[in-house]
Amino acid sequence: MFFIDLLISVIFFILLIICVLVGVA
């Protein structure tokens, strides 16, 4: 299940970056 945990972490990280970019913009 390492791949699934890694995938969830990557998705969460991308969503966090999008939220930051939207907040800055």
- Report CA-CA distances (Å) from 8 to 22, 24, 25: 21, 24, 26
Write the DSSP symbol of residue 1.
-
pLDDT (0 to 100) of residue 21: 96
Tally the domains of the chain: 1
**pLDDT level of residue 2 (50, 70, 90 thresholds):** confident
For residue 7, give both structure tokens. 């995938």
For residue 1, give its domain range: 1-25
Q: What does the chain come to in residues?
A: 25
- Cα separation of the two ends of the chain: 36
For residue 9, give both structure tokens. 């972490």
How far is residue 10's CA from residue 24's CA, in Å, rounded to a whole number?
A: 21
**pLDDT level of residue 14 (50, 70, 90 thresholds):** very high
- Whole-model pTM: value is 0.64
